[in-house]
Amino acid sequence: MTNWQVDSAYKLTKNDAAAVNEYSYSGLDLTTTSEFKIVSAATSDGTYLKWFPEIGNNYGSNGEITADAKYTVYFRPDYNGNADWYCNAIYVAIEVPEESQAVIDMINALPDAANVTTANEQAIAAARKAYDDLSDTNKTFVSADTLAKLEAAEDALIPELVNRCFIENDTDKIYSGDEITVSGAAEGGKGEYTYAFYYKKTSGTNWLEMAPAYTTESASFTPAVMVNYDVKTVVKDARGVTAEKILTFKAKKPLTNDSATSAEEIAIGEKIVVTGAASGGAKGYTYAFYYKKSSKDNWYAMAPAFTTKRASVTPSAGVSYDVKVIVKDADGNTEEKLFTVKVTKPLTNESTISAEEIVLGENVVEPVDTKYNNVV
């Protein structure tokens, strides 16, 4: 740029408070394409004593002006500025709009996050509102560090995020093969919560996802073996802050009904003896015994339910009978088992003779075949 013009309207004022020889001018409108120089006062013949910087070193020609705004220009004709000064003589500072400066002052007045209490809540909220009300342009005058101080103060008022996730099943009554459901819950923190659910055998090291992380508020899995399991839940709030919780349970062996009958086939008049037996579940088993004819629907108790470990019944007909045993463990789990017992009629000899008295020389007719009258 060579067509320089001098405008006395931009006359700099001496800063008497400065420790060195310094001048300044406030309110200078500059754009990112502006360039300027500073000149000394004119002599009597209309020439100027000196140009700062010298011709060829214009302020702004190398991108020194980074935004369109009002600036304050500082000038030290003795070239005793520090490294931040252009050619050690010129320093330019962007002028913050009053609205932006008011917000900056409000934020700077807040205590550091470590010292924030509920007594500062209104001041923090007011600073946030004032910042949000700024235009997009004026927001650019609030530095990242200043805004970070406001956000840290806001975070300091947020209650600690607490993970309240839980297993919906009764963890004292979980058996291998049961479906385990884990539900997300939390308090404190900020905004909406999302959850991640994992599980592993306590003896293992690899966590397995119960569902894709942070996509659902509950998840399920089915323990396949009878060991201790760990469940890990992670809750995340709107800030990305997380809180973890580990839950544990033992998968027990399922209740099995091992009861047995004394025989699969008996004769009328003999007893069907049923003995209760079980494994797995929660120890402390009780039993209930029932019977009926296989062709009928109604069950009859062989003994008062859950009062004895053994019961018997003597069938009165030569037909098939069904026997039912229900075992109940200490947790209230029940398991049913059915038997069928065939009851047969006893052996009957129905042989006959032709007469009880005959004349000498008459034949005794041979008896009929013996038969078994077994009813199925």
pLDDT tens-digit series, residues 317-341: 999 999 999 999 998 999 999 999 9
pTM score, whole prediction: 0.56
Cβ atoms of 159 and 188 within 8 Å: the answer is: yes
Give the pLDDT confidence score for residue 360 in this predicted structure.
81
Distance between alpha carbon 168 and the CA centroid of its chain, in Å?
14
pLDDT confidence tier of residue 354, bands split at 50, 70 and 90: confident
pLDDT cut 90: percent of the chain above it: 70
Which tokens sit at 268? 């009328």
User: What are the backbone dihedrals phi and psi of residue 126, each rounded to the nearest 5 degrees, phi first?
Assistant: -65, -40
Q: Distance between CA atoms of 238 and 304, rounded to whole angstroms?
A: 60
Fold of 162-250: Immunoglobulin-like (2.60.40)
Fold of 256-344: Immunoglobulin-like (2.60.40)
Cβ atoms of 295 and 321 within 8 Å: the answer is: no
Strand 23-30 relative to strand 13-14: parallel, antiparallel, unpaired? antiparallel
pLDDT cut 70: percent of the chain above it: 92
Scan for tokens 């406030």, then name that residue.
Answer: 26
Give the pLDDT confidence score for residue 351 in this predicted structure.
79
Is residue 38 scored above 50 in pLDDT? yes
Is residue 301 scored above 50 in pLDDT? yes
Sequence-separated (6 or more) residues with CB below 8 Å from residue 370: 349, 350, 351
Is residue 55 scored above 90 in pLDDT? no
Q: Distance between CA atoms of 92 and 76, rounded to whole angstroms?
A: 12
Question: What are the C-alpha distances in Å from 135 to residues 97, 100, 132, 138, 176?
Answer: 11, 9, 8, 5, 62
Give the pLDDT confidence score for residue 52 in this predicted structure.
82
Of 23-32, 49-58, 138-147, 229-238, where does mean pLDDT reach its minimum? Answer: 49-58
Q: Distance between CA atoms of 272 and 174, rounded to whole angstroms?
A: 35
Scan for tokens 């008996």, then name that residue.
Answer: 266
Average pLDDT, the chain: 90
